[in-house]
Amino acid sequence: MREVPGIEDFFGFAARLIRPTVFRSMMKVLVTGGAGYIGSVAVDALIDAGFDVVVFDNLYMGHREAVNPEAAFIEGDLADKAAVDAAFAEHKPQAVMHFASYSLVGESVENPLKYLGDNVTNGLNLLSAVLDHGVERFILSSTANLFDQPETIPISENETLIPGSPYGESKAIIERYLFWLQKTKGLRYAALRYFNAAGCTEVKGEDHTPETHLIPLVIQVALGQREKIMIFGDDYDTPDGTCVRDYIHVADLAQAHILALKALDTNESLHYNLGNGAGFSVKEVIETVREVSGHPIPAEITPRRAGDPAILVGDSTKIRKELGWDPQFGDLKPIVESAWKWHSAHPEGYGS
Ligand code: UDP
């Protein structure tokens, strides 16, 4: 039954009407990959914060339905330099958030040149447009896969960059180039190294084809769409032998992007690790989905997946102190609950 709108709905509606006229003059942000899992949530956060947004996405992995209707949308490929240039010429963004990227460690080990082409060659097209059109702020989606052999856990920004795979290497190359573009051309940038993005908002979820990420795969088992979950190795040097990861909610990642974008007003370069500072093993993730869904979740141990470090846990003290980042989903259970809610409501993802 549809509820009768209350007074809060009225104020929410009024705020949405007023907000664009108040803040729209702030800044226009071009978001590559804004139809994807993390990018679409960041677009919502940008629009909520009053920014003008242009999404540039080839829809290989993203979904048109995931693009906020208040954003302009261009279906385009970063490999197409002319299309990238035309998007900048038409929309004249003042900042870029760059989410569009292949991001699978295992795939990059099997097909390393795909990652060089995507992140580096296509990244060059994007960075050329950024310089040619005088864009002064750039935010890069980077990765915890920069840290294959961390000396200290949780991993801080002082850790030496030793990429764990061709994927991590491709992000490291772009991070280094941003450093040089800052020095030589004055481009202000933030490199945000995500640990394991997870969870869903009320309206945006994780829908990859094929799905390879742990939490949505375990949820597929709980929904009866998959018979069992494969555990990739139980002989790691960790308490229960399975890999330990730091799961961070997408909405918290999105907030970090807004903070970083604003901080570029007064900073030339920023590097931040974005995690919760707590690690959960593959077995603990499966157990949490069991608890949240009430499904037994059959599991089978298989050999290790190439390129997987044993433990990746981030130390986000720096961004918390410097920018006041305050993640709202500090534990695994509420993250899994948010994902369970979205996947239960959208069992076929954006297709349903
Ligand atoms: N994993 C697993 N079974 C799966 C998918 C993932 O055991 O079907 C493990 C994977 O080896 C890693 C962890 O779960 O240790 C998280 O993997 P995911 O692909 O979600 O993220 P990544 O850490 O690669 O960014």
Per-residue pLDDT tens listing for the chain (352 residues) = 333 344 444 444 444 454 444 444 579 999 999 999 999 999 999 999 999 999 999 999 999 999 999 999 999 999 999 999 999 999 999 999 999 999 999 899 999 999 999 999 999 999 999 999 999 999 999 999 999 889 999 999 999 999 999 999 999 999 999 999 999 999 999 999 999 999 999 999 999 999 999 999 999 999 999 999 999 999 999 999 999 999 999 999 999 999 999 999 999 999 999 999 999 999 999 999 999 999 999 999 999 998 888 999 999 999 999 999 999 999 999 999 999 999 999 999 998 5
Residues 57, 61: Cα–Cα separation, whole Å: 9
- In a domain, residue 76? The reply is yes
Task: State the DSSP H helix or E strand holding residue 178, giving kind and residue range, or none if neither.
Answer: helix 166-185
Q: 121-179, pLDDT tens digit by residue?
A: 999 999 999 999 999 999 999 999 999 889 999 999 999 999 999 999 999 999 999 99
212 ligand 1 Cβ < 6 A:
yes
Ligand 1 mean position, distance from CA 15 (Å): 41
260 ligand 1 Cβ < 6 A:
no
- In a domain, residue 163? The reply is yes
CATH code, domain carrying 105: 3.40.50.720
246 ligand 1 Cβ < 6 A:
no
Strands (E), the chain: 28-32, 52-57, 72-75, 95-98, 137-143, 188-194, 196-198, 229-232, 244-245, 247-249, 269-274, 280-281, 299-302, 311-312
231 ligand 1 Cβ < 6 A:
yes
Choosing from 107, 148, 213 the residue with most ligand 1 atoms within 8 A of its CB, the one to mutate for a pocket test is 213
Q: Which residue's CA lies nearest to atom 22 of ligand 1?
A: 196
188 ligand 1 Cβ < 6 A:
no
Q: Which of 115, 167, 194, 247 is catalytic?
A: 167
Tell me the Ramachandran region of residue 76: left when phi exceeds 0, alpha when psi lies from -120 to 50, beta otherwise: beta
Give the number of the atom of ligand 1 that is nearest the alpha carbon of residue 305: 11
- In a domain, residue 114? The reply is yes
177 an active-site residue? no
Give the number of the atom of ligand 1 that is nearest the alpha carbon of residue 198: 20
214 ligand 1 Cβ < 6 A:
yes
* Domain hosting residue 82, numbered range: 7-198+247-275
**How many CB atoms are closer than 10 A to CB 188?**
22
- In a domain, residue 211? The reply is no
User: What's the number of domains the chain is made of?
Assistant: 1
Rg over alpha carbons for the chain, rounded to the nearest Å, is 20
Residues 83, 253: Cα–Cα separation, whole Å: 28
Q: Are 95 and 135 in contact (CB under 8 A)?
A: yes
- In a domain, residue 292? The reply is no
Q: Which residue's CA lies nearest to atom 4 of ligand 1?
A: 214
Residue found under tokens 């030496």: 160
- In a domain, residue 12? The reply is yes
Name the packing angle between helices 37-48 and 250-263 (round to 10°).
60
- In a domain, residue 168? The reply is yes
Residues 319, 210: Cα–Cα separation, whole Å: 33
Name the packing angle between helices 282-293 and 332-345 (round to 10°).
60
245 ligand 1 Cβ < 6 A:
yes
DSSP-derived letter for residue 267 is: -
- In a domain, residue 326? The reply is no
81: buried, middle or exposed (CB in 10 Å: 19+, 13-18, 0-12)?
middle
